[in-house]
């Protein structure tokens, strides 16, 4: 039962700090989060004061009431951020709700956001992940950017002692206007797509996917005189200039979008379908039928003297839902994926994807060089057919990974070349559960391969959950898979993003599981949080307990 059930206490919150308050202007100032300060102990602590007037005398059935008292209580939270915490453990970040910033560019429900940020800080969370949507920031006209809501979120995070990871999202969110989380590409980009539908991916049936612009036109001036790559670079450059006072201090990480759902992949399966129960049956469709992709394929085929190979994708790839063993291309023993033609096509198809990633990495590395903010790229976890020989769902997504070829090592090497971190999801998934739906699925096997590639190329790793799973078994699976990457490394560089914050997180049992998980990941010995209650001016103070933090978190639920 959720603690936030009626009647709900109302809060009058004020924030104070033992250090000098930050000015409203965005000047760069020394911070306990700067790299220079992390290198040595810092004696200062931040002091958070919260006044709460409780309107209810009823306690929760869940056993975690905020207080039965009907008076004014003064809660003072002393949260000391140990400079060793990040180095000794694995910091945890929490992804914000998709709709944190509304369509007009303002923060939605700012008071609830404040309370939620305070709860996360008390729980020991390192920071938040903020998705910065191209379709909101550059919504109406080219190079007209509105960063207002995102500036407000970053400023709030700084005041609450949280770091920020910014995800530069160059893709669509949601399935359509009827979706409550609908965020399309910029309106002016959609106008150009209407004029030239080949700007987006297409499959062999002519179905177009507007989640992300086709990488076939990366370098062509199809967006009112600019190429998509130039549009992405201009966006990143303006982000850097606008948020420069925060970069490396509050904004410590920047994930650069590379495709649908921000992942470096083709939209072989619509993103919304990846959350459906029967997703495990999806083979995917090759996305190479827009005129720009076909032109590249045709040129490559002619170059090797096989022009007949350049007219489209593979024959016999069947449809999205068919058994791969019944298809001419994907079947294990004599499928054409393992022929000269299959090798040619898959090398071209995956090579185009890696080239797209490298182009954007090169631009981002140049733009953010010297800011002290890390950069990362996210890969998809297409594990539905990992235990087959041909791995069809990976091949259609652009990962040339089969039983005889490692398709992720080339991507990891590319990321290492430009100093990028690898981000991958699925840390909460277990083979035992997934195989109940599909016996050839193996999320653990795929994840171990990705982690091995990161270790081999010596690149940092960001983990993510595939869903907002707050049951204890899912969270313990995250801990186990995290250790797989870090085991034996002298200086493992691993952090974790929990996807995502919602009202369920702050329910009693979920919040208990989550705070325990944060302590496990962040190193409980280094985590310090004190909760002091001033019922009277000279009241005695006692240190915080897990239940105290839990009560505060539930009372601050972002619903």
Task: Calculate mean pLDDT across residues 304-318.
Answer: 90
What is the residue-averaged pLDDT of the chain? Answer: 81
Lowest mean pLDDT, pick from 219-223, 380-384, 527-531, 550-554: 527-531
8 A C-beta contact, residue 508 and residue 60 = yes
pLDDT of residue 62: 36
- Cα dihedral across residues 277, 281, 285, 286: positive or negative: positive
Read off the pLDDT band of 537 (50, 70, 90): very low
Contacts made by residues 206-212, CB under 8 angstroms, sequence distance 24+: 206/289, 207/285, 208/290, 209/260, 209/267, 209/270, 209/287, 210/172, 210/184, 210/185, 211/171, 211/172, 211/260, 211/261, 211/267, 211/270, 211/271, 212/170, 212/171, 212/172, 212/259, 212/260, 212/267
pLDDT of residue 12: 33
Read off the pLDDT band of 87 (50, 70, 90): very low
Which among 436, 495, 425 is positioned nearest to 467, based on CA atoms?
A: 425
Read off the pLDDT band of 273 (50, 70, 90): low
Domains assigned to the chain? 87-193+212-276+354-529 (3.20.20.80)
Q: Is the pLDDT of residue 148 over 60?
A: yes
Positions marked active-site = 263, 464
Cα separations in angstroms, 366 against 169, 243, 244, 441: 19, 16, 15, 39
Higher per-residue confidence, 452 vs 540: 452
8 A C-beta contact, residue 558 and residue 504 = no
What values do phi and psi take at 20, rounded to 5?
-65, 135
* 480 CB burial (10 A radius; 0-12, 13-18, 19+): exposed
8 A C-beta contact, residue 547 and residue 97 = no
Read off the pLDDT band of 67 (50, 70, 90): very low
8 A C-beta contact, residue 75 and residue 27 = no
Which among 219, 320, 201, 183 is positioned nearest to 266, based on CA atoms?
A: 201
Interatomic CA distance for residues 27 and 22, integer angstroms: 9
- Those residues whose C-beta lies under 8 Å from the C-beta of residue 162, and which sit 6 or more positions away, are 117, 120, 121, 125, 126, 127, 128
Which residue matches tokens 């399309």?
A: 184
Q: Alpha carbon 229 to chain centroid distance?
A: 21
Helix axes 340-368, 228-242, angle to 10 degrees: 30
pLDDT of residue 316: 74
8 A C-beta contact, residue 96 and residue 505 = no
8 A C-beta contact, residue 368 and residue 236 = yes
Asked if the bond preceding 486 is cis, omega within 30° of 0, the reply is no
Higher per-residue confidence, 18 vs 369: 369
Which among 528, 536, 557 is positioned nearest to 45, based on CA atoms?
A: 528
Give percent of the chain with pLDDT exceeding 70.
Answer: 75
390: how many CB neighbours lie within 10 A of its CB? Answer: 26
Segments in 327-430 forming alpha helices (H): 340-368, 392-397, 409-417
Longest Cα–Cα distance in the chain: 88
Q: Which strand (E) or helix (H) includes residue 451?
A: helix 443-456
pLDDT of residue 270: 73
Read off the pLDDT band of 5 (50, 70, 90): very low
Read off the pLDDT band of 34 (50, 70, 90): very low
Q: b/e map of 63-78 (b: 16 or more CB within 10 Å)?
A: ebbbbeeeeeeebebb
Lowest mean pLDDT, pick from 68-72, 339-343, 371-375, 451-455: 68-72
How many residues are listed for the chain in this entry?
A: 559
pLDDT of residue 476: 94
Which among 58, 13, 74, 542 is positioned nearest to 66, based on CA atoms?
A: 58
Interatomic CA distance for residues 88 and 82, integer angstroms: 10
221: how many CB neighbours lie within 10 A of its CB? Answer: 11
Higher per-residue confidence, 308 vs 541: 308
- Those residues whose C-beta lies under 8 Å from the C-beta of residue 481, and which sit 6 or more positions away, are 427, 444, 447, 451, 463
Give percent of the chain with pLDDT exceeding 90.
Answer: 66
Q: Is the pLDDT of residue 427 over 70?
A: yes
Which among 145, 144, 165 is positioned nearest to 154, based on CA atoms?
A: 165
Interatomic CA distance for residues 252 and 33, integer angstroms: 9
Which among 169, 119, 147, 165 is positioned nearest to 26, based on CA atoms?
A: 147
Structure tokens that stand for 171 in this block = 């893709």
CA atoms within 13 A on the CB side of 484: 19
Interatomic CA distance for residues 287 and 209, integer angstroms: 9
Interatomic CA distance for residues 479 and 466, integer angstroms: 14
């Amino acid at each position: 039962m959720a603690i936030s059930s009626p009647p709900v206490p109302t809060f009058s919150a004020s924030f104070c700090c033992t250090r000098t308050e930050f000015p409203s202007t965005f000047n760069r100032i020394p911070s306990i989060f700067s790299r220079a300060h992390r290198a040595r102990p810092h004696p200062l602590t931040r002091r958070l004061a919260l006044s709460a007037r409780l309107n209810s005398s009823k306690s929760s059935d869940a056993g975690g009431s905020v207080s039965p008292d009907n008076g004014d209580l003064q809660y003072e939270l002393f949260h000391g951020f140990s400079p060793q915490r990040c180095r000794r453990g694995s910091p945890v970040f929490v992804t914000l709700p998709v709709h944190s910033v509304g369509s007009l560019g303002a923060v939605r429900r700012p008071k609830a956001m404040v309370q939620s940020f305070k709860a996360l800080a008390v729980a020991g969370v390192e920071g938040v992940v903020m998705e910065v949507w191209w379709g909101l920031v550059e919504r109406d006209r080219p190079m007209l950017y509105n960063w207002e809501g995102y500036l407000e979120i970053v400023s709030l995070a700084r005041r609450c002692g949280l770091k920020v990871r910014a995800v530069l999202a160059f893709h669509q969110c949601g399935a359509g206007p009827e979706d409550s989380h609908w965020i399309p590409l910029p309106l002016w980009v959609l106008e150009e797509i209407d004029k030239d539908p080949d700007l987006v991916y297409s499959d062999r049936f002519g179905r177009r996917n507007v989640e992300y612009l086709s990488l076939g036109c990366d370098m062509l001036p199809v967006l009112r005189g600019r190429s998509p790559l130039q549009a992405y670079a201009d966006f990143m450059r303006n982000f850097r200039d606008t948020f420069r006072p925060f970069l490396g201090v509050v904004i410590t990480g920047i994930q650069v979008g590379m495709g649908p759902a921000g992942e470096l992949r083709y939209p072989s399966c619509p993103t919304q379908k990846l959350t459906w129960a029967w997703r495990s049956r999806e083979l995917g469709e090759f996305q190479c039928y827009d005129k720009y992709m076909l032109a590249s394929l045709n040129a490559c085929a002619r170059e090797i003297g096989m022009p007949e190979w350049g007219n489209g994708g593979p024959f016999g790839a069947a449809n999205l839902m068919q058994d791969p063993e019944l298809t001419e291309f994907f079947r294990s023993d004599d499928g054409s994926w393992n022929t000269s033609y299959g090798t040619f096509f898959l090398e071209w198809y995956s090579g185009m994807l890696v080239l797209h990633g490298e182009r954007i990495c090169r631009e981002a590395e140049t733009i953010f060089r010297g800011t002290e903010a890390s950069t990362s790229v996210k890969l998809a976890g297409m594990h539905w057919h990992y235990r087959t020989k041909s791995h069809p769902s990976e091949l259609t997504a652009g990962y040339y990974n089969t039983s005889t070829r490692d398709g992720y090592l080339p991507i990891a090497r590319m990321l290492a070349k430009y100093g990028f971190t690898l981000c991958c999801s699925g840390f909460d998934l277990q083979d035992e559960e997934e195989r109940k739906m599909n016996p050839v699925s193996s999320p653990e096997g795929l994840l171990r391969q990705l982690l091995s590639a990161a270790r081999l190329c010596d690149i940092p790793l960001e983990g993510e959950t595939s869903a907002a799973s707050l049951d204890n078994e899912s969270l313990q699976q995250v801990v186990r898979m995290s250790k797989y990457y870090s085991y034996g490394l002298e200086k493992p560089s691993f952090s974790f993003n929990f996807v995502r914050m919602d009202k369920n997180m702050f329910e009693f049992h979920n919040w208990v599981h989550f705070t325990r998980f944060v302590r496990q990941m962040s190193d409980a010995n280094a985590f310090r949080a004190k909760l002091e209650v001033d019922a009277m001016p000279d009241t005695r103070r006692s240190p915080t307990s897990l239940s105290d933090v839990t009560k505060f978190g539930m009372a601050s639920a972002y619903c």
